[in-house]
């Protein structure tokens, strides 16, 4: 989705802005633009296409300003073209604005402004913002006040950067429901919608809250609420390493992130299991509180929702509390039965997914205790929730989520175990055993990643397939769903995931000679049943690929062995060959693995 970068300081802005935009490319975009301010004159260069194309255009210009704003656009209102890309200007070319988010009442504002003589060039919602700011500026001649009045009129979500030709030493930024951070360095202020864009310049950040405005000059930053009441903010320090956002010798971020799972799981486990009793940073539930909870909701989107599905049955087995897993986009509109006896857990790698945030707000308004799980420090979801806890997967750049998923599954398992410990629903011996199994995960992930030649070979054989099925029962079913999603999003091959037992209720009609079927078989208790399902597709000519930790007597086309582990935690290991398979199939097809078509890393619109 759209990305924002900004700079105000003593250095030339253009290289910093372009570098930041490059780092935001992973979010997905279709056009890019830049605006700088020098000697009370605003320049703007924007174009449909990649940041590299923008760079070629910018290189031909002499832009030496030390103040600038920049944007990558992912089209929502109006097609991807130069006119619709950001920055946008007001009619008098006084204000230049970049914007992330969606202005829901833009048609009303546009009509109001047109009635007042304003004209519009683009099809975007954003163009109303500079014009509205200018409308107020014409009345009160106060830059800050004009931005604050305009923000008060906006309904929807926004993160904006505004520069003005009347003020050669000033930038104003504001946000609501779309992130913005301000990095502090010796040479000036670095602004971005995502920390990775500016992480190589500083690790010290202010995080702007909803309905706040920051006024930046070369040597000062002031924070206000929308009504211009001053706000005090604490500086936050990020521990991420800047090298984590480089490829470090891997061909693609996705492959690097698959291999990083050894470390990301180790970091996510951290010290939580070191003592005899499990301790979680930030979460302190009491027995009274948990005994009063009669339902747990786990709500998320895409891969994050699959992480919820992978722990649903474990939560229920360990804590004896019913768990419902829901897609955030459905949950928020279906009036779910949530009350003050509900614990609602929201999972989001980015912490900025619009549907998940809105679902959280709904659950909170109905009295639930809300717990957010995010991978991004200070992300919106952690600010909205009653309690939050982080996965420590490090920055995930590839659009296809891998290390964030396994970190989410591990953390959710630890939370389930922690709740069971407090509720005393399982014995201390059982807790000890499960803790040991979790602690063995990094080594077992390393093993699972050791010899991947079988996966590479399978990818070569099946990359031309039109359709692929994934089958799993019990704990293996959510993994089948995740494997199928991974394959679709980066290889564009149609695929479906089915619970093994469902096959004969319809989908088996599609099986014909050489149809690839991938079976995940890790639960010993369900092994015979699952093998029967695979047998059914073999009889109809399917090519079978099995991911398993079991000793299998039957013949299949390919068997990928993964290390043994307690069945509760098998989704963390069985997903690894599926991530790799999706990756290598995408490579065989010559596709852009990290930036698949039509997708964005962080889905900040509903």
Residues for the chain: how many in total?
606
Q: Which of 42, 51, 531, 603 binds ligand M6R (CB under 6 A)?
A: 603
Binding status of residue 579 toward ligand M6R by CB under 6 A: no
**What is the 8-class DSSP label of residue 88?**
E
Smallest gap from Cβ 553 to ligand M6R, in A, equals 35
**Could you tell me the CA-to-CA distances from 495 to 105, 320, 484, 487, 515 in Å, in that order?**
39, 34, 6, 7, 11
Q: Which of 489, 491, 580, 584 binds ligand M6R (CB under 6 A)?
A: 489
Binding status of residue 353 toward ligand M6R by CB under 6 A: yes
For ligand M6R, the closer CB: 296 or 400: 400
233 among known catalytic residues: no
**Could you tell me the CA-to-CA distances from 249 to 395, 575, 589 in Å, in that order?**
17, 24, 21
For ligand M6R, the closer CB: 145 or 361: 361
Q: Which of 31, 36, 202, 349 binds ligand M6R (CB under 6 A)?
A: 349
Active-site residue (options: 2, 164, 301, 419):
2
Tokens of 432: 């000890």
For ligand M6R, the closer CB: 61 or 330: 330
Smallest gap from Cβ 348 to ligand M6R, in A, equals 3
Choose among 592, 357, 563: nearest CA to 489: 592
For ligand M6R, the closer CB: 58 or 389: 389
Binding status of residue 342 toward ligand M6R by CB under 6 A: no
Tokens of 219: 């040597």
Binding status of residue 179 toward ligand M6R by CB under 6 A: no
For ligand M6R, the closer CB: 199 or 603: 603
The three-point CA angle 535-540-545 to 5° equals: 55
Active-site residue (options: 110, 175, 403, 601):
601
Binding status of residue 348 toward ligand M6R by CB under 6 A: yes
Smallest gap from Cβ 362 to ligand M6R, in A, equals 16
Considering only residues 383-442, where is the footprint of ligand M6R by CB under 6 A? 399-401
For ligand M6R, the closer CB: 403 or 543: 403
301 among known catalytic residues: no
Sign of CA dihedral 562, 565, 566, 568: negative
Choose among 254, 578, 562, 574: nearest CA to 404: 254
Stretch that binds ligand M6R, among 229-237, 313-321, 346-354, 460-468 (CB under 6 A): 346-354
Specify the 3-state DSSP secondary structure of 200. Answer: coil
Choose among 45, 147, 141, 134: nearest CA to 94: 134
Cα separation of 600 and 250, whole Å?
21
Considering only residues 285-314, where is the footprint of ligand M6R by CB under 6 A? 301-304
Cα–chain center distance at 306:
14
Block residue for tokens 């099946």: 462
Specify the 3-state DSSP secondary structure of 12. Answer: coil
Q: Left if phi > 0, otherwise alpha if psi is -120 to 50, otherwise beta: which for 123?
A: alpha
Residues touching ligand M6R: how many (CB under 6 A)?
Answer: 16
Catalytically annotated residues: 2, 601
Per CB under 6 A, residues contacting ligand M6R are 301-304, 348-350, 353, 356, 399-401, 485, 489, 602-603
């Amino acid at each position: 989705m759209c990305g924002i970068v900004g700079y105000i300081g003593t250095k030339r802005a253009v290289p910093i802005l372009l570098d930041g935009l490059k780092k935001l490319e992973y979010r997905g975009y279709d056009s890019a633009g830049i605006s700088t301010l020098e000697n009370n004159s605003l320049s703007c260069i924007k174009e449909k296409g990649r940041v590299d194309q923008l760079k070629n255009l910018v290189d031909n210009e002499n832009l030496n300003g030390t103040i600038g704003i920049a944007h990558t656009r992912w089209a929502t209102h109006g097609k991807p073209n130069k006119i619709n890309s950001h920055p946008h200007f007001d009619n008098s070319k006084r204000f230049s604005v970049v914007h992330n988010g969606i202005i829901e009442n833009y048609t009303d504002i546009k009509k109001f402004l047109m009635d007042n003589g304003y004209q519009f060039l683009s099809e975007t919602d954003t163009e109303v913002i500079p014009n509205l700011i200018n409308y107020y500026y014409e009345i009160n001649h106060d830059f800050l006040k004009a931005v604050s009045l305009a923000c008060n009129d906006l309904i929807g979500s926004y993160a904006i950067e505004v520069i003005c030709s009347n003020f050669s030493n000033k930038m104003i930024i504001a946000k609501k429901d779309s992130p913005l951070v301000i990095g502090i360095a010796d040479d000036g202020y670095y602004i971005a919608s995502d920390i990775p864009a500016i992480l190589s310049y500083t690790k010290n950040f202010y995080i702007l809250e909803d309905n706040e405005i920051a006024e930046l000059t070369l040597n000062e930053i002031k924070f206000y609420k929308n009504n211009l009441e001053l706000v005090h903010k604490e500086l936050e320090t990020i521990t991420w390493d800047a090298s984590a956002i480089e490829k470090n010798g891997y061909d693609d971020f996705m492959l690097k992130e698959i291999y990083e799972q050894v470390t990301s799981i180790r970091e996510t486990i951290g010290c939580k299991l070191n003592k005899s009793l499990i301790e979680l940073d930030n979460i302190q539930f009491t027995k009274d509180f948990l005994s009063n909870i009669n339902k747990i909701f786990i709500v998320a989107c895409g891969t994050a929702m699959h992480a919820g599905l992978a722990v649903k049955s474990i939560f229920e087995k360990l804590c004896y509390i019913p768990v419902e897993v829901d897609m955030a986009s459905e949950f928020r509109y279906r009036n779910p039965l949530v009350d003050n006896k509900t614990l609602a857990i929201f999972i989001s790698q980015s912490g900025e997914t619009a549907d998940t945030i809105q679902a959280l707000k709904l659950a909170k308004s109905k009295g639930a205790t809300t717990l957010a799980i995010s991978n991004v420090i200070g992300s919106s979801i952690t600010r909205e929730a009653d309690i939050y806890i982080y996965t420590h997967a490090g920055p995930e750049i590839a659009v296809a989520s891998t290390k964030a998923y396994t970190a989410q599954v591990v953390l959710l398992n630890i939370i389930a175990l922690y709740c069971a410990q407090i509720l005393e629903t399982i014995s201390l011996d059982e807790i000890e055993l499960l803790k040991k199994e979790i602690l063995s995960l990094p080594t077992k992930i390393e093993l699972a990643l050791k010899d991947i030649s079988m996966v590479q070979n399978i990818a070569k054989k099946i990359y031309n397939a039109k359709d692929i099925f994934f089958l799993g029962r019990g704990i293996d079913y959510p993994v089948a769903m995740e494997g199928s999603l991974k394959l679709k999003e980066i290889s564009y091959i149609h695929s479906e995931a089915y619970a093994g037992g469902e096959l004969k209720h319809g989908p088996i009609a599609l099986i014909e000679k050489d149809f690839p079927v991938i079976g995940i078989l890790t639960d010993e208790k369900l092994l015979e049943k699952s093998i029967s399902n695979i047998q059914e597709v073999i009889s109809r000519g399917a090519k079978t690929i099995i991911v398993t930790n079991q000793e299998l007597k039957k013949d299949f086309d390919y068997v990928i062995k993964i290390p043994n582990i307690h069945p509760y935690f098998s989704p963390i290991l069985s997903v690894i060959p599926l991530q790799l398979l999706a990756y290598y199939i995408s490579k065989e097809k010559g596709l852009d693995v990290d930036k698949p078509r039509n997708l964005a890393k962080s889905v900040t619109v509903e």
